[in-house]
Structure 1
Amino acid sequence: MLRRNLIRAGASCLAGIGNLGLLQEALALGAAAGFSTTAPELAPLQGFSGAEAFDARDLRIEGRLPAGLRGVYYRNGPGLMARGGERYQHWFDGDGLVQAWTFGDDGVRHKARFVQTKKFRAEAKAGRFLLPAFGTSFPDQDKRLPVRSADDVNVANTSVMKMGDGRLYALWEGGSAYELDPQNLATKGVRAWSDDLAGMPFSAHPKVEADGMVWNFGTQSGQMVLYQISAQGRVLRSEVFPMPGPNVNGAAIGAAMVHDFAVSQRYLVFLLAPIGLDMQALRGGDSMLGSMRWLGADPTRVLVVDKADFTRRWVLEMPAAMVFHFGNAWDDGAQIRLDYVEAPPLPVVNERLRQIMVGERSEPQHSTPRFMRITLGSRTGTGAGLSQGRIDVQTRDEAVEFPVVDPRVVAQAYRHVYYPTAIDTGLRSGFNGLMHLDIESGRRERFCFGNEVVLEEHVLVPKPGSRKEGEGWLLGLGYDSKARRSFASVFDAQAVSAGPLARVWLPYWVPYGFHGKFYSA
């Protein structure tokens, strides 16, 4: 069992011993559940036991933090990978660990807590897995807990959102948002946005415009729900409708996996990859992910929705493409411009994620940037048929993921996109650098940490008082496989190639996460 409270970073000697002990205990925990690796960059995928509560103050700062960087960087990701000698089979399955990095006048503090979902509490009490996960099923599931709703298997592990009313949420695309205390990260419970939307899925990629307006979606059983929510958390509009999608076993089923979307001034845009859900396999005991079928001969459907009227929808088609993440979008009424990252087909992605979960490297299959222009024509009904229009796509070949933009330009015309990137990594897993792309000029700027570091998503934090897009800092996490510690790095977003202004070191490591947000003090 890992220690509930870790040694504070101020005692650097003892902190180093605590970090080594943490690593050794995690190695033992992982080995007991079938995880072993000779790849040092995969060590954080061992995960933790679920009993940890991290609180480290006076963190060591390498370099100099900007004086204007004040606030909290919240981050979410899979933190628990094994219980009772069993291990999740897919990275997406791990129970959510939310971190809070507080940047204040007195230094930097790090806190982390597991989200106490209904699933997490039941399994912690039992000391074993009781419910299936997105990519993991158990052959004796009939002897464990039954699944009656999506929230029974909600792991709250993907992202975070803090509303204008001060409420903080841990997000997972398949179920409800979980409210957390923004100060101590204690779990308060499931959030129902309204009585008629209780239990409806609320995706982990809400889009928040500069005025605080929130747009989001959820998908379930071939249906899509759309949300427009005020900055204070009040539902202004919602709509539920059937998704266009492929056929599996003779049944028309909407795209079975929709992770993200783009929002422009007038439209919501979804790229619905040709993924069907084999209900026979699901009923036969396969996991949700194991029941998904990649239908590469089918098109990816481009669903465009009018923000002013959710019933006004266009459906266009493009060649099959797997997309997890978008950067941003804008439109002039007739044309929509947006960027996204195209991933390899779903079976390739899943095989790689399964391999790393047992500590094995695999041949890298990288995601690459794309830039799309959609010219809308006439609609056909309310989304039931194909619409007229044109799609043009420009491609780039850099190995990237997790695109971000300046939060002040969400749903507006923009110029700058930022990504973690892989530069000459060979067979090594993960990203080792940061990339800034000026999409107007095509200019690219990069910085590489080298192959001992794995870099995660970095968000843009605007400089106080600035107005120009890109005037700010890039803030995100990384892991140094030689030091066996995690860190937060801060870059000048306008001078990425100059390297980090500062790195803030934890006295321990944390598992790799997915997404985060910064909220200024």
Structure 2
Amino acid sequence: MSITPPAPGFDIGFRDLNREIAVADLPVEGSLPDWLSGSLLRNGPALFETGTRSVRHWFDGQAMVHRFTFDEGRVGYANRFLDTPSHRAMTESGRIAFREFATDPCRSLFARFFTRFTGFTGKATPNANVNITRFGDRYVALTEAPLPVEFDRDTLETAGVVGYEDGLSGQVTTAHPHQDPGTGDLVNYLLHFSRTSEYRVYRQQSAATSRELIGRHRAARPSYMHSFGITRRYVVLAEFPLVVNPLDMALGGRPFIENYRWEPERGTRFTVMDLRDGQVRGVYEAPACFAFHHINAFDDGDDVVLDICAYQNASVIDALYLDRVRAARSVPLPRPTRYRIGLDGGGRVGVEPLSEEALELPRIAYDRYNGAPYQYVYGAGARGRRPDDFLNQLVKLDVTTGATLTWSEEDHYPGEPVFVAAPDAPEGAEDGAEDEGVVLSVVLDAARQSSFLLVLDARTFTERARATVPQAIPFGFHGLFARHH
């Protein structure tokens, strides 16, 4: 007779959080740096069930925004759902009314015919549950449909979808726009589905709602790309061999991601586009891999260096369906990997592992080192990971030496680590001050079924403080730190 071991408890991170609260003063253990003043804004899914129905995938939960405020050693907390048609349909009507990443509300073939090439969403749902960025002084939540949703930083109240004032079209984008390292403009791309689909790379001045086309690149079978790379000179599109026939997207009758097929024989193709004039410098081939997240990229002479959290294949997407991840089935792990693209070297691409430590949800000292040579990346990893466990530690990796520091506690599951630089940290990379600051991460304590905000010293990777939240926060994705001026 076999005895089933108890569940590890992290499944609460994939359960509904229905309570919206505002707490002015959380209990804090330890001490915060005097200079830490501002708001950590986080985004992620927090509603998966309605009535007897459930969305199918972690990526499909309804968006909730969380805010941690720091002021004179105190920490406040608030959370609020984005007020969107998809959220209202679930809470008011008990319906899943909009297509998501891996969930389809079973529209008819007739309806699909009249909404072909509308991307995820026959009816576009602004369930912007992936990331947060700024359009000037405006804060917007993002997903992979080009429908940013504005919200108030202080109240978290939803203001509505931000309309673009331009003629650019496309059905899919990324929730990871970059800042142009030279100008500060936002840079992103749209994928326009057609008989021959097209990536349309654009720039957007920081406070504007109009976009300017940089360049185009055609693809008969476009790739699923969650993010991309940028240097001071180039945009790099990493076209992994998870590809789609646009006709299948229109007529296949399947949710968005289930139209894509893994074709490893295609390899990975790096399309390098000039940021100035949109000319494609070249398309460079490497062995097949998959990734959600780029770490950083930079120019090195005639080479482009691209660091990615690389998986062997795209099976991680299937592993994150709710029925599987809640049952504590194994989730594949990525390794930080460096790709060196020789622009003038006959198309060669060198591949080098940066560490054997797993690393996902990567963050760097972005304001100073985006698109430039750098030393440190912070991410979520896995300590002594059992096949039935989840991301359970934080990792600091020195990409120049492979050395790592980690933070972990038993039955604790940290989210994306956000680096916040000390305001008086020197500017130059040569002064050794790249890691002068703190790292912030929302951690789920599975045993207590509650969460807390962890504050680590970025240099030593030791704990400085934690602020306990009176509820368990579901696992989220991305966010930003906004300083208070």
Tell me which residue corresponds to 2:65: 98
> For 1:390-443, what per-residue CA distance to the aligned partner results, in whole angstroms no more than 9, with x for missing partners?
211101321220111102111112111111110112134322211111122332
Q: Distance in 2 between matches of 1:63 and 1:321?
A: 42
> For 1:229-274, what per-residue CA distance to the aligned partner results, in whole angstroms no more than 9, with x for missing partners?
2232364632463443xxxxxxx3211x110111111111121111
- Pair 1:511-2:482 in alignment: no
Tell me which residue corresponds to 2:16: 47
Tell me which residue corresponds to 1:492: 457
- Pair 1:367-2:334 in alignment: yes
The counterpart of 2:162, out of the listed 191, 201, 206, is 191
Q: What code does the residue aligned with 1:494 have? A: R
Matched position secondary structure for 1:323: coil
Matches within 5 A, 1:317-328: 317-328=285-296
Shift of 1:144: 9.6
Tell me which residue corresponds to 2:207: 232
Shift of 1:475: 0.8
> For 1:109-146, what per-residue CA distance to the aligned partner results, in whole angstroms no more than 9, with x for missing partners?
11111112233234433221112221122446579999
Q: Distance in 2 between matches of 1:262 and 1:79?
A: 29
Matches within 5 A, 1:40-439: 40-49=9-18, 52-105=19-72, 107-139=74-106, 149=118, 150=121, 152-163=124-135, 165-197=136-168, 201-208=172-179, 212-221=184-193, 222-233=197-208, 235=210, 237-239=212-214, 241-244=216-219, 252-255=220-223, 257-278=224-245, 279-280=247-248, 283-346=251-314, 348-354=315-321, 356=323, 359-377=326-344, 388-395=346-353, 396-407=355-366, 408-439=368-399
Matched position secondary structure for 2:320: helix
Matches within 5 A, 1:5-20: none
> For 1:284-308, what per-residue CA distance to the aligned partner results, in whole angstroms no more than 9, with x for missing partners?
4211112111111211111111111
- Pair 1:471-2:439 in alignment: no
Matched position secondary structure for 2:124: helix
Q: Distance in 2 between matches of 1:185 and 1:117?
A: 13
Shift of 1:351: 2.6
Shift of 1:227: 2.1
Q: What code does the residue aligned with 2:468 have? A: W
Q: Distance in 2 between matches of 1:201 and 1:47?
A: 27
Shift of 1:333: 4.7
- Give the TM-score taking structure 2 as reference length: 0.89
Against the structure 1 CA distance between its residues 268 and 432, is the aligned structure 2 distance closer, same or farther, given a 3 Å change threshold?
same
Whether the 8 Å CA contact 2:20–2:79 is kept in 1: the answer is yes
For structure 2, the 5+ residue unaligned runs are 1-5, 427-432
Shift of 1:486: 0.9
For structure 1, the 5+ residue unaligned runs are 1-36, 245-251, 379-387
Deviates more, 1:182-191 or 1:217-226: 217-226
Whether the 8 Å CA contact 2:452–2:466 is kept in 1: the answer is yes
Q: What code does the residue aligned with 1:336 have? A: V
Q: What code does the residue aligned with 1:175 have? A: P
Q: Distance in 2 between matches of 1:204 and 1:374?
A: 25
Whether the 8 Å CA contact 1:161–1:168 is kept in 2: the answer is yes
Deviates more, 1:121-130 or 1:69-78: 121-130
Whether the 8 Å CA contact 1:374–1:390 is kept in 2: the answer is yes
- Give the TM-score taking structure 1 as reference length: 0.83
Q: Distance in 2 between matches of 1:166 and 1:176?
A: 18
Whether the 8 Å CA contact 2:309–2:337 is kept in 1: the answer is yes
Against the structure 1 CA distance between its residues 304 and 242, is the aligned structure 2 distance closer, same or farther, given a 3 Å change threshold?
closer
Q: Distance in 1 between matches of 2:397 and 2:202?
A: 31
The count of residues paired between Structure 1 and Structure 2 equals 461
Identity rate, percent:
28
Q: What code does the residue aligned with 1:442 have? A: G
Deviates more, 1:213-222 or 1:417-426: 213-222
Shift of 1:167: 0.3
